[in-house]
């Protein structure tokens, strides 16, 4: 699947957060705001990257906690 510019910006935000902190704990709203994208575009970008094996996403079930996103070990940050 191809990614548009806003989806690439979302992934750049995630990669920067992972590089700086080891994981991305940002909410969809925070990622969307930083990338200048909508929440739906942000969610779509994450889903596409996850399905392509570019991201690992852990869904946290506790209320109020965002998901945790990491890069697979084979993909440099």
Q: pLDDT tens digits, residue range 30-57?
A: 999 999 999 999 999 999 999 999 999 9
pLDDT at 14: 94
pLDDT tier at 15, thresholds 50, 70, 90: very high
CB 11 within 8 A of CB 45: yes
Q: pLDDT tens digits, residue range 52-74?
A: 999 999 877 776 677 788 888 75
**Greatest pairwise CA separation for the chain in angstroms:** 33
CB 48 within 8 A of CB 3: yes
Among 52, 3, 49, CA closest to 67: 49
pLDDT at 19 over 80: yes
pLDDT at 76: 56
DSSP letters, 15-28, are HHHHHHHSSB---H
């Amino acid at each position: 699947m191809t990614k548009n510019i806003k989806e690439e910006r979302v992934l750049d935000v995630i990669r920067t957060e992972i590089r700086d902190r080891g994981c991305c704990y940002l909410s969809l709203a925070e990622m969307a705001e930083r990338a200048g994208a909508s929440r739906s575009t942000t969610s779509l970008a994450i889903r596409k990257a996850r399905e392509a094996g570019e991201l690992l996403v852990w869904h946290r079930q506790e209320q109020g906690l965002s998901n945790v996103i990491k890069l697979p070990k084979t993909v440099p940050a």
